[in-house]
Amino acid sequence: MASCRGLGVWFGCLLVACGGGGGGDVRPDVVGDVSSDVAGDAEVGSEVSTSLAPYVRPHIGTGGRGWYAGNSFVGAALPFGLVQAGPQTRLGDDPPMPWHHCSGYHHDDDQVTAFAHTHFHGTGIPELGSVGFMAMAGGAEALPETGLPWSHYDRDEESARPGYYAMTLSDLGARVELTATERAAVWRVTPTAGADRVTFVVDADSTIVLGDVLDGGIEVQPEAGTIEAWDKVQNEFSRPFGGFRTFVVARTDAPVLAHGQDARRAWLTVQAPGGQPVELRVGVSFVSAAGARANLDAEVGLADFQTVLDRAEQRWSDQLDFIHCDGMTDTQRTVLATSAYHTFLMPTLWSDADGTWLGFDDALHTDAATPRYTSFSLWDTYRTVHPLLVLIEPDRQRDFVRSLIGMADEGGWLPKWPTANGYSNIMIGAPADIVIADTWLKGVRDFDVERALGHIEHMAENAVPPEVNYEGRAGVELYNALGYVPLDDGPGESVSSTLEMAIADAADANLAEALGKVELAARFRTRSESWKNLYDPETGVFRPRLSDGSWLANFDVHATAVQGQAFTEGNALQYAFLVPQDVTGLAELSGGAEELVRKLQEFFEPAVDEQAELRATTAEDFYWLTHFPRYYWHGNEPDIHAAWMFSELGRPDLTAAWVRWIMDTHYGDGPDGIPGNDDSGTLGAWYLFAALGLYPNAGSTEYWLGAPAFSRCELRLGGGETLVVEADAAALADGPARVLVDGQPLDGFVLDHDAIAHGATLRFEGPPTTP
């Protein structure tokens, strides 16, 4: 989820007054059951597929409101593709509510206002979604005076599966089907009432909610059957750097009967003999119109819709054929499959097919061998997504790291939430450090680690100059001088920033040590203990401190996003355990391991009733923007590791119990099946790790062990090896008494990456049964 830093007025004032978060638990008033939306699309037969692709339900996470909205993307895309083609919708005639239309679509809606070819998945603020398209049966005489025609639609006539999306436009007399390549999309439009013409409309002034179109242009070329358009748009992520340009080229082979253009809108009316389908091919580029044409030629060419769809479905089938588990219920299989699917939607390609991209220095760069990616939700994804990719897609993760280093080469600083070719100023800390360190420490090393470490050190020692309009490590000079970010003399979010920078410093120390940089490692290691400077023994949590060293008075551990913005999207209780790099040290300050276990239990136990009360609540939108959990909150990232800490404290049984509660309570197969923003697959990847019974301590080589959710799982690793995870009945029921690695007992319940990097068998055994 995005923090108040960098948000628009609509969002920021609400956060300051009421708090905010990355998501929340399921909301009870979501309309309908999406099983009818998508179960038929998968056409799951009696023979179980080896790939999870047939079990994916893209509508999971499209419901909820406020902090409780999943904001899942619904449409056609390939894994990590530049193009994510899908609808933008609203309920009734009112404008869409921004906080639950960040991907353009919401499950409760009944009208579609546009289709666009770029979207985010699972974010808490909107971006992309510009240059709107629409299709309609008949000619242009029914066009509105400005903008795009809109239509009602029936969810029972929607279809969604990986690589495919379809919707019937009841007011426009057409059924739209979409499929995609990495940088292009193909439409298939069928008149539903036997019309013999279809009109395609493109509007360069159309964009997703809260977006501002700053400039643009459009040209229709009837003799070639093309419409070319571009715009420059800024939205909540891209405002700090002034927005970016999107170029689209749409091309049809159908005979053109009529065409037109006014201002930044154009249309083509084409023949659809006997009501037969007509197709439209669309190329997209963030470089130029020529780039969009070249992307379309390279990835689609003259291929028809069915050919492109077949390729897309095969790509997803291969992509989702990496994990197999025995003993799953239908719901568990659906949740596992969709979690995996969501994990592979972001980051997204930024470079064209020829390897050209627009850099953070606003210059063109070309590297045909290494693609450039962008849209990294790093504050979220460093915890789960990138550690998962290290295991199963190391080459892709290498390219992601190369992209982050390249951004720093071009812009001077490592990013926190890079969007397009700019710094968004969203979120806190130094999450890129953690991703880079985690990747290298776990053996993915085909990138310039010395250059990366140079960028890490540069941002850890220096404030970003004001002319860059990027905060970098916000408050870093005070953090380095005082050992914490003070509440009264810093950039805000003081406690959260201190804790996140300490996690990054621990990761940086691990990396520097591995590289033999003794002095640098010692400096980072010392700073990684800065969290201790905010630990208040009186309250047992991290407390805001002023620049003179005094504590904030009148401190409330349950208050969220108030008290001078000490916490980012959470309260002191939800940040009380954000020391994954030093659980032993936190236990010592807490009074010992048993005392920290007790505090963790007191953090989780009230959450059971709290979540039940939330699910039983029916309220208007504003409620869901101002009310969120006070205890464990799985819909936001700072505490999603907390259940796993029990294992390091010697209580893997409690890890197993609470992880299972989270899986069963916070995930489901309906539109409310993600507990808040998925944050670019972060919560999806969490579920995958939970299914396996292990969880990464990001920035290190450690995994915490709980208990797997199923009796046996096989995970295909990036090198072709297999990680086998087995559990006996006692371990599934009560948690493990011991874990064996290739038959050898593990000492404790913390596992090193080397033990599984090249394949292994983990066996979880529960306590012996009493006769």
Rounded Cα gap, residues 285 and 330, in angstroms: 40
Which has the closest alpha carbon to 159: 171, 181, 177, 179? 177
Task: Tell me the average pLDDT across 253-267.
Answer: 97
pLDDT more than 90, % of the chain:
85
pLDDT (average), residues 139-152: 96
The DSSP secondary structure of 49-75, one letter per residue, reads PSSSGGG--TTTT----GGG------S
Percent of the chain with pLDDT over 70: 91
Task: State the pLDDT at residue 3.
Answer: 43
pLDDT computed for residue 605 by the predictor: 97
Distance between CA atoms of 662 and 632, rounded to whole angstroms?
10
Q: Under 8 Å CB-to-CB from 471, ≥6 apart: which residues? A: 5, 425, 464, 491
How many helices (H) does the chain have, and how many strands (E)? 20, 31
Cβ–Cβ under 8 Å, residues 136 and 158 = no
Give first-to-last CA distance, the chain, whole Å.
50
The confidence score (pLDDT) of residue 248 equals: 98
> What confidence tens digit (pLDDT) does each residue in 678-725 have?
999 999 999 999 999 999 999 999 999 999 999 999 999 999 999 999
| Mean pLDDT within 332-361 | 98
pLDDT of 65 reads: 82
Task: Quote the pTM value.
Answer: 0.94
**Cis peptide, bond prior to residue 629, ω within 30 of zero:** no
216-229 per-position pLDDT tens digit: 999 999 999 999 99
pLDDT for res 17: 31
Per-residue confidence (pLDDT) for residue 617, from 0 to 100:
76
Give yes or no for residue 148 having a pLDDT over 70: yes
The CB-side HSE value for 771 (13 A sphere, CA atoms) comes to 0
The total of other beta-carbon atoms located within 10 Å of residue 591's CB is 13
Confidence of residue 49 (pLDDT cuts 50, 70, 90): low
pLDDT at 19 > cutoff 60 = no
Q: What is the pLDDT of residue 449?
A: 98
Would the pLDDT of 563 be above 80? Answer: no
Q: What order of strands is seen across the sheet that includes strand 174-180?
A: 159-161, 164-169, 174-180, 184-191, 278-285, 244-251, 226-234, 212-221
Instruction: Categorize the per-residue pLDDT at 10 as very low, low, confident or very high, splitting at 50, 70 and 90.
Output: very low
Which residues does residue 491 pair with via DSSP β-bridges, in sequence order? Answer: none
Question: Is residue 595 predicted with pLDDT exceeding 90?
Answer: yes
Which pLDDT band, with edges at 50, 70 and 90, does 626 fall under? low
Query: What's the rounded mean pLDDT across residues 31-46?
Result: 34
The two most distant CA atoms of the chain are separated, in Å, by 84
| Model confidence band, residue 622 (pLDDT cutoffs 50, 70, 90) | low
User: Residue 97's pLDDT band (boundaries 50, 70, 90)?
Assistant: confident
Q: What is the mean pLDDT of the segment spanning 596-624? A: 84
Residue 41 has pLDDT above 60, yes or no: no
Computed over every residue of the chain, the mean pLDDT equals: 92
Predicted local distance difference test score (pLDDT) of residue 166: 98
Q: What is the pLDDT of residue 619?
A: 66
